[in-house]
Structure 1
């Protein structure tokens, strides 16, 4: 995969075509001097457990990895904290209200959206919800269900960072 900076051909400040590699993280405009640093977009992942020690999973309704298992979550809006972002995403995808969002860990990821590789920093949260009995698959989720931790197979999850994050969660976080 080519470096993500290669997809930016023109200076976003002045529009010049003389927008050249500055170093491995940035491009610099030879005409106006603007330096653009390429940083990841922030995204959230929700780990929601019920009283039966089962994890809430969803089936992806859209590409990438349409039809595979996933966890609720998505991109954080520019004005949101990570906790606000995970609360909103859980509400949009499940209808559930998050009472508490506890940050666990993060993983870098590349999420291909409309053929464009988006570098993300995925923030994993253990979320406590008000009601684990009432939920509905909405937005990006085609289906939604709880699965016993012992039955989780990380290979059934279509996105690499979710597989890796679930492995960490199951091995290091869940006791």
Structure 2
């Protein structure tokens, strides 16, 4: 991530313990810590909404609405913002947290470690016409019964784990 120290430009910068950059010349320290991210399983009747990613990473794969939590934002606020940005829809009730998993998100030659928080919300009257997908982010929207989701088509390991956990959550096996 750094070839030179951002503080003194030294080439001696070191990456230690897979999380901290240190410069022995000036004492600069940068912790490359975990970022918070959200995802939402939106239940529409017997189906859940899945998005087809329009950009990398995992372009063309299925994903849940959600994304990174911005600085100064709580997880629920970040989830609502991401839903508005990605699909033009704001959950009518507060989504319920049901699972959390670690994940990695490779983007522009940097792999971000994330803590993904997964929520669920029921939207029985939601129709495709109610949504305004952002074309740069979302290539398509699909409604699939949870048990019929091909886990190999999901974009991220944490999303696969979340859909599996949601099925257990739904059936009371969680």
Asked if Structure 1 and Structure 2 have the same fold, meaning a TM-score greater than 0.5 normalized by the shorter chain, the answer is yes
SS of the residue corresponding to residue 166 of structure 1 reads helix
The TM-score normalised by the length of structure 2 is 0.84
Is 1:27–2:24 an aligned residue pair? no
Cα deviation for residue 129 of structure 1 reads: 4.9
Partner in structure 2 of residue 49 of structure 1: 43
Partner in structure 2 of residue 60 of structure 1: 53
Structure 1 CA distance for aligned equivalents of residues 55 and 103 of structure 2:
18
**Structure 2 residue runs without a partner (length 5+):** none
SS of the residue corresponding to residue 92 of structure 1 reads helix
SS of the residue corresponding to residue 83 of structure 2 reads helix
Structure 2 CA distance for aligned equivalents of residues 12 and 59 of structure 1:
37
Partner in structure 2 of residue 114 of structure 1: 108
Is 1:167–2:161 an aligned residue pair? no
Pair 93,131 (structure 1): closer, same or farther in 2 beyond 3 Å: farther
Partner in structure 1 of residue 121 of structure 2: 127
Partner in structure 1 of residue 133 of structure 2: 137
The TM-score normalised by the length of structure 1 is 0.84
SS of the residue corresponding to residue 36 of structure 2 reads strand
Pair 20,149 (structure 1): closer, same or farther in 2 beyond 3 Å: closer
Cα deviation for residue 128 of structure 1 reads: 4.3
**Structure 1 residue runs without a partner (length 5+):** 1-6
CA RMSD of aligned residues (A): 2.1
Is 1:95–2:92 an aligned residue pair? no
